[in-house]
Amino acid sequence: MRAGRILITPRSLSSGVHPALQPLRDAGYELVCPSPGETPDEATLIEAVGDCIGWLAGVEPVSEAVIDAAVKMKAISRNGSGVDNFPIEALERRGITFHRAEAVNTRGVSELALALTLAGLRNIVATDAGMKSGDWPRRIGHEIDGAEIAVVGLGAIGGAFSDSCLKLGAYVRGFDPFAPDIHGDHPNFRRGSMQETLHGARVLSLHAPMLKEGAPLIGAQEIDLLAPDAVVVNTARAGLVDKDAMLKALESGHVGTYATDVFEAEPPTLDPLLAHPRVVMTSHIGGFTVGSVRKSAGLAVENLLKALN
């Protein structure tokens, strides 16, 4: 007799064949994979979750209706650190244990943020598109060496991104009222207020959670503080950026590139902002590397087994 059923919903794991899932099978659990390779919607989750005692979860939005349908659920384990997609209070009311795999995608996300930063500074995507259309675009770029980089959010990912920029010769300014001191003795790093951090920055990279009230963190006033032709990189949360303000800044030229790996819905609708020619998009691949998936899946499985046992 099997130990019970476990729901598997992360897109990187939901085919059910990743070797990190084998310990669950070895422990006698049956794996339920309702949407292989895709993000399950609410109806799919409600249909699949009812007889599952455990859940290895991803970034899919989870409503209170889904939690209400999880009548046998004992423990949920996220294969990442974010909790925005779960109704935490509903889990607490039900007494469902919730675990996160923290800091496992630090390298993957910070490296993508760096790649998007460099792509924006050198106009790589727009130049490639122009050449493929038969043109010969030569828009002058900026070097990261000596550039002023603003980092909002100095947790594991923001700290790793800052470290990479410092090693490339940038001057990094960071804002985070909660994170511990990092790079304290580095001559090219300093912390300050939001205004001090953004003022004159050539690059802004976001690594912060959403505000509790859900309001954007970066609006017109914050964007105006940046240097002209600035690069804004968002690998954190789509809602951190005011869409209308960013579109106006792109159209005016005050922002040269907006690069994002995060969206309000996945896949996104190409609204006027996302369709802008100087917006660079990646399909939420920050933590989608062989190393990050292996580490996040391994820790998430370990956390789930401990919770269920």
Which domains are assigned to the chain?
4-103+289-308 (3.40.50.720), 106-281 (3.40.50.720)
Dist CA 162 CA 205 (whole Å)? 9
Q: What is the DSSP letter of 218?
A: B
Closest CA relative to residue 203, chosen from 105, 122, 288: 122
Place of tokens 């002209």: 228
Say what the pLDDT of residue 254 is.
98
**Residue 229 φ then ψ, to 5°:** 65, 30
Set 266, 276, 294, 302: catalytic member: 266
Rg (CA), the chain: 21
The token pair at 263 is 């969206």
Dist CA 13 CA 299 (whole Å)? 13
Dist CA 230 CA 215 (whole Å)? 22
CB neighbours (10 Å) of residue 263? Answer: 17
Place of tokens 């990743």: 18
Q: Is 266 a catalytic site residue?
A: yes
Place of tokens 């820790």: 299
Set 122, 191, 237, 278: catalytic member: 237
Say what the pLDDT of residue 2 is.
58
Q: Is 284 a catalytic site residue?
A: yes
Say what the pLDDT of residue 1 is.
41
What is the crossing angle of helices 106-121 and 124-132, to 10°?
Answer: 60
- Residues of the chain falling short of pLDDT 70: 1-2
AA letter at 183 = H
Q: Is 237 a catalytic site residue?
A: yes
Say what the pLDDT of residue 114 is.
98
Say what the pLDDT of residue 236 is.
96
